[in-house]
Amino acid sequence: MFNNIQLEDNPLTLVRVNSALFDDFKFKVVTLEGEYYRVIPETAREVFFLQLLTKGYDKHVPESGDGIIVSKSSIDSVKHL
């Protein structure tokens, strides 16, 4: 599973922040502490796995580039499959 995978230390991600005054939102850049994987899904199985993960906890939007930032523990639990 996940042939296109890259280990990243302390990746930069985007987090949505809602505006209190207006019906609007912004994105802010946040650095995640620790090791994460950047994956680019290539099969329906990989896409389905990513859909099961919790947004903002197990999977994150990268600040730049392609793919999805996924927690190392989530990927390591299915690496043998």
| Total domains in the fold of the chain | 1
Residue 81 included in any domain: no
When pLDDT is cut at 50, 70 and 90, the band that residue 1 belongs to is confident
pLDDT at 79: 76
- What is the phi/psi pair of residue 54, to 5°? -85, 125
Residue 40 included in any domain: yes
What tokens appear for 65 in the block?
């580039």
Domain residue limits at 56: 5-76
Contacts of 57 (CB under 8 A, 6+ apart): 71
Residue 29 included in any domain: yes
For residue range 44-74, list pLDDT tens digits in order.
999 999 999 999 999 999 999 999 999 999 9
For residue range 31-48, list pLDDT tens digits in order.
999 999 999 999 999 999
What average pLDDT does range 3-27 have in this prediction? 91
Round to whole Å and give the CA distance between 23 and 13. Answer: 23
pLDDT at 13: 97
Residue 22 included in any domain: yes
- What is the phi/psi pair of residue 27, to 5°? -115, 140
What tokens appear for 73 in the block?
């523990």
Residue 26 included in any domain: yes
pTM of the predicted protein model: 0.88
